[in-house]
Structure 1
Amino acid sequence: MTTDVPTSPGTATVSRGRTGRSPGGRRRYQAREVAWAYAFVAPAILLFAVMGVYTLFWGLQLSFVQWNGLTPTWLWVGLRNYTDLLWASPVFSPPVRAAALNTVWVMIATPLLTVAISFPLALALNRARRFVGLLRSIYFVPYVTTGIAVYLAWQYVLEPNGAINTLLGALGLGSLAQPQGWLGNPDTALPTLIVIMVWSAVPVATLLYLTGLQTIDPALTEAAQIDGAGWWRVNLSVVWPLLRGITAVIVLLNIRDALQGFQIFLIMTDGGPGDHTNVLGLQTYRLAFQSELAPTLGLASALGWMLFVAALVVAYVNLRVTRER
């Protein structure tokens, strides 16, 4: 609502808004507000531009050159880094293919096991009536604990004289123990690391499922129960479809960690034994910082960009599948 305030008889009136400012004053006020907003946002934008955009394009350029990271000049090789990683080089392509196979296993097993464990766990916690806060805190501890400390603790548990082999021997299941340790046996090293990754991923997935469960209208499940559906049928036919979006997010997060994560593989096994736990993220790190076949920094950048493109493709496919359903 505007009011017309005459200045004197016979003169034009000035339209003012609710704030009592003229249109010109309002524009100046809005301009100042916008300027202050940009002033507060500018440091974050500048930091992102320097650490994000600039680094991104620098890394893309680096993937087309041969450079050891120390000399002032580099050698432009075009797409040779990519072809060497994929098939052309007998030195670099075999480790990449082996790491890609291990990464695929991690990409498949980790999301499936995380969903299979976290969804029933969330259902159980959602039905709990006592000590709900305590139980949720306990299940969330693996996520908030420092990763390096947890991985080192797991190493002690999994070594030849560790807690798992000792427990198996005490239960009369010594034949299942691993004399080399669970990380020293090529057949058990990768599955063991997958189990630890699932153990770390379940808390967040459970929390996401709990959040989704609390948004579901109880009338839907009550209607299904009135129609004769049992507990399993209600959760599989009513609750599970309503949480499909959350499941897609959980799967995507785990696939991202499988593609780009390497911390657990570097700390616990360093890709061993015999590269049986080497993954693409760790292979990128090795090419960048541990390779004795210098210069390989361009190869590392090329492999990193291939992982980035693979992550985009996975995210796009996941989004399309979710939308279609």
Structure 2
Amino acid sequence: MTLQPTLPARVEKDRTTPPRSGPSRRRDSRYEALTGYLFVAPAVVLFLVMGLYTVGYGFTLSFAKWNGFAPNWEWVGLDNYKDLLWRDPVYAPRVRHAAANTIWVMVAAPVLTVVVSFPLAVLLNQVKRFQGVLRSVYFLPYVTSGVAVFFAWQYILQPDGAINSLLSGLGLGSLQQPQGWLGNPSTAMPTMIMITVWGHVPVAMLLYLTGLQGIDRSILEASELDGAGWWRTNMSVVWPLVRPITAIVLLLNLREALQGFQTFLVMTNGGPGDHTNVLGLEAYRLAFLKNLSPTLGLASALGWLLFAAALVLALINLRALRSKT
């Protein structure tokens, strides 16, 4: 005869936590919201002080004349914009000339960046060994200190620099530039564009490489089975698939060409004879290189014109992307 174990005659209490009442739940939610606001408050205050205040201050300054030291501004309304665009006989021609140079950079630099970076990414994607090393080598120009690189380029491009010496050694002395590649007005801007492209290719190449590695391998195999060669596959199959990346590359390079001026400031300072002067550099000159002249308002107005142009380009690019999707 087997004895069955007897169970304790007690009822287990329900261990589940009873739901909170309405007022208690509201108190907890308010406490969590307050905690979140306290964590976000320093960033919001910093943005309001360093972001909105400075933007509003600069926008207001574009309607005034001020040299940075006078206690009061001289309000001139839209005169700064009129002087920059057509009215002033000194500043308007300089702005138009800088705008023409900027357009050259905006057209040539993005196109050349795409032309160089896409084939480079395709070749790097096909490399099976040392891909990480090669990717690091190609990305090196982007992470190297900009000022140091610019001075190195200046040394290479000067009259007794490496490029003229190389041309002389190859028997191509007729291509040498006795004034230096940055001192000759006919070669200064093309040289600056090439240096700009050299600095933009690493990021564009990595963007293309990321897109190429995300393409389904079966698509490429299907094109090979259909008899498409290397060129046909990359132009008719791969290139359309990475078109959104191309739009991003173009937009980034357009923005940099429109607003960037550090390369031109360090290497040529707009010379020779303003042949490499761009709009960003002209705004910098108006703001900081006019001594006590009341041109800070002109610099601010030119900056806002550049911002408006960048915004228009961004909207056009966004509209183009939407139409293709």
TM-score (norm 2): 0.92
1:286 aligned residue: 285
- 1:135-284 → structure 2 map (5 Å cutoff): 135-284=134-283
Asked if 2 retains the 8 angstrom alpha-carbon contact of 1:115 and 1:250, the reply is: yes
Asked if 2 retains the 8 angstrom alpha-carbon contact of 1:244 and 1:322, the reply is: no
CA distance in 2, matches of 1:108, 1:265: 17
Superposed displacement of residue 36, structure 1: 2.4
Asked if 1 retains the 8 angstrom alpha-carbon contact of 2:121 and 2:209, the reply is: yes
CA distance in 2, matches of 1:286, 1:248: 32
Q: Using a 3 Å threshold, how does the CA distance of structure 1 residues 211 and 25 change in structure 2: closer, same or farther?
A: farther
1:9 aligned residue: none
Larger deviation, residues 31-40 vs 282-291: 31-40
Give unmatched runs, 5+ long, in structure 1.
7-13
% same residue = 65
Q: Which amino acid aligns with 1:55?
A: T
Superposed displacement of residue 24, structure 1: 4.2
CA distance in 2, matches of 1:210, 1:22: 56
Q: Which amino acid aligns with 2:30?
A: A
Superposed displacement of residue 52, structure 1: 1.1
CA distance in 2, matches of 1:219, 1:284: 52
- 3-state DSSP of counterpart to 1:184: coil
Superposed displacement of residue 264, structure 1: 0.5
Superposed displacement of residue 23, structure 1: 4.7
CA distance in 1, matches of 2:44, 2:236: 46
Q: Using a 3 Å threshold, how does the CA distance of structure 1 residues 216 and 23 change in structure 2: closer, same or farther?
A: farther
Larger deviation, residues 26-35 vs 309-318: 26-35
Asked if 1 retains the 8 angstrom alpha-carbon contact of 2:67 and 2:292, the reply is: no
Larger Rg: 2
- 3-state DSSP of counterpart to 2:227: coil
- 3-state DSSP of counterpart to 1:175: helix
- 3-state DSSP of counterpart to 1:187: helix
- What is the count of residue pairs matched by the alignment? 310
Superposed displacement of residue 15, structure 1: 5.4
Superposed displacement of residue 218, structure 1: 1.1
1:302 aligned residue: 301
1:37 aligned residue: 36
CA distance in 1, matches of 2:299, 2:308: 14
- 3-state DSSP of counterpart to 2:68: coil
2:311 aligned residue: 312
Asked if 2 retains the 8 angstrom alpha-carbon contact of 1:126 and 1:210, the reply is: yes
CA distance in 1, matches of 2:47, 2:323: 34
Asked if 1 retains the 8 angstrom alpha-carbon contact of 2:258 and 2:306, the reply is: yes
Q: Extract structure 1 runs of 4+ deviating beyond 6 A.
A: none
Asked if 2 retains the 8 angstrom alpha-carbon contact of 1:125 and 1:132, the reply is: yes
Superposed displacement of residue 222, structure 1: 1.3
CA distance in 1, matches of 2:183, 2:309: 30
1:106 aligned residue: 105
Say what the alpha-carbon RMSD is for the aligned residues.
Answer: 1.6
CA distance in 2, matches of 1:33, 1:215: 41
Superposed displacement of residue 226, structure 1: 1.4
Q: Which amino acid aligns with 2:36?
A: A
Which deviations, in whole Å up to 9, do the C-alpha atoms of 1:278-308 show, x marking residues without a partner? 0000000000011257110000000000000
Which deviations, in whole Å up to 9, do the C-alpha atoms of 1:149-184 show, x marking residues without a partner? 110110000000000000110010111010000000
CA distance in 2, matches of 1:165, 1:34: 66
Superposed displacement of residue 322, structure 1: 1.6
- 1:63-82 → structure 2 map (5 Å cutoff): 63-82=62-81
CA distance in 2, matches of 1:40, 1:251: 37
